[in-house]
Chain A
Amino acid sequence: MGADHDHGGDHHHPGLAEDLSLGEPARRLMAMEELLVEKGVIGADEVRRVMDVIAARSPVDGARVVARAWMDPAFKLRLLEDPRAALAELGYPVVSGSKLAVVENTENLHHLVVCTLCSCYPTSLLGPPPDWYKSFAYRSRAVVDPRGVMREFGLEVGEAVEVRVVDSAADLRYMVLPRRPEGTEGMAEEDLVALVTRDSLVGVGAPNQPAVNS
């Protein structure tokens, strides 16, 4: 936002100055927000407050949950059986109205998460879904050619491993509990967190390998 953008009106939308060519749906959205504020339906700074909450979410939260499950087998069992309660143990607020399921990848079983109908995703633990998760190509292909899709992401899942695709919906969202990489025995939980990638929590990738000490 430049200092030269003072419109003198009541409505300031910091950051919008670069979007001079907003399309009609965007302009209608801005119009709706302004009107709702003027009518007192929503408070003037409520949207900004929620934007900050959303911006604070990232896959690091999901990674922390995974690292804890790798460290603590009893926690892992609770996480798989009752994710809500297990997450509450770690202090993560439970998203209302939507159930979370955690599915475990093993030596013989690999999970891939998709939402064929739209874009349902465990945003409270992973942040907003990436563009490709919302793309028509991913939504249509993940259920018929999961191995091909994963290959495009650089993930080759052996033929001996069963691939199970789980289709999220508004009432049930999935997160993958990826396999703990070999050679990470004895690593600290904090260091394990850093190995867990967003893509491994969706099933299109594997966690990073630990750096080899020379």
Chain B
Amino acid sequence: MNAVHDMGGVPSEDPIDRSEHQLMEWERRTGALVDVLREKQLINTDELRRGIEAISPDEYRRLGYYERWSASLETLLVEKGLLTTEEIDKRAAVVGQRWV
């Protein structure tokens, strides 16, 4: 059976939703942060892709596009010892509060 990301030819009758949304600030930041880390050769495209493809099938379908990028980036940064899950947990809680 194909992995979830391998979508070519997967039976689907869903129409193509052609509406386009303006990327949100955090989505644009995600793309830019990935580019910055790539420029510094701290991560590469194949690693990012591997991190996305490692997301469980249910999560993969549930998450938005940049949410998958964010999840993959976290996997890589923790793997490489640049950040820890604990410090991301802690800071994410504060980031959430900062705007309410």
Contacts and interface: CB of A to CB of B under 8 A. Distances in A.
Interface in A36-58: 36, 39, 41-42, 46-48, 50-51, 53-55
Nearest to A48: B32
Interface string A15-48: 1110110111111111111111001011000111
Interface bin, chain B: 35 or more
B29 A31 contact: no
A17 B52 CA distance: 28
Interface bin, chain A: 35 or more
A30 B73 CA distance: 12
B6 A117 contact: yes
Interface stretch (A79-87, A134-142, A177-185, A206-214): A134-142
Given A25-B67, A30-B95, A144 B40 contact: no
Interface of B: 5-12, 14-21, 23-33, 35-37, 39-40, 42, 44-46, 49, 52, 61, 63-67, 70-71, 73-74, 77, 82-83, 87-88, 90-96, 98-100
Interface of A: 7, 9, 11, 13-17, 19-20, 22-36, 39, 41-42, 46-48, 50-51, 53-55, 97-98, 114, 116-119, 128, 130-132, 134-144, 149, 152-153, 167, 170
